[in-house]
Amino acid sequence: MTTDFKRGQDFAYAGQILNNGEAMDFTGWGIAAQLRTALTRTLVQDLAVEFADAATGLVSLSASAAQSSVWPLELLVMDIRLQSPAGQVTLSNTEAINVVERVTHA
């Protein structure tokens, strides 16, 4: 599924990471997320990411309006990288974001 996003606004994405459909405790895990172009996988931005509630796998990703104002007008993709305290790396499903131009420039 692709979501339209208007360039130049605050970006906020929140959700729960599940393990085989079940909530999991991610306390002590590392987390990172990047936004890249869909076609060439060029890095657009390292997103701010944190656990809103590590015990239930709730995560929050964000970028400011100033940061998103320079995102390219094209299809972008992102995923979330998780690393366990033991070093095991797990990646979320890939999400697609279609960046479109805003209309209002007030």
User: Whole-angstrom Cα distance, residue 5 to residue 102?
Assistant: 9
Tens of each residue's pLDDT in the chain, 106 residues: 678 999 999 999 999 998 888 999 999 999 999 999 999 999 999 999 999 999 999 999 999 999 999 999 999 999 999 999 999 999 999 999 999 999 988 7
The per-residue pLDDT for 25 is 95
Q: What is the CATH number of domain 2-100?
A: 2.60.40.3350
| DSSP 8-state symbol, 71 | S
Q: Where are the domains of the chain?
A: 2-100
Work out the number of other CB atoms within 10 angstroms of the CB of residue 26.
22
Task: Say if residues 43 and 33 touch (Cβ distance below 8 Å).
Answer: no
Residue 87, H or E segment: none
- Enter the pTM of the model: 0.89
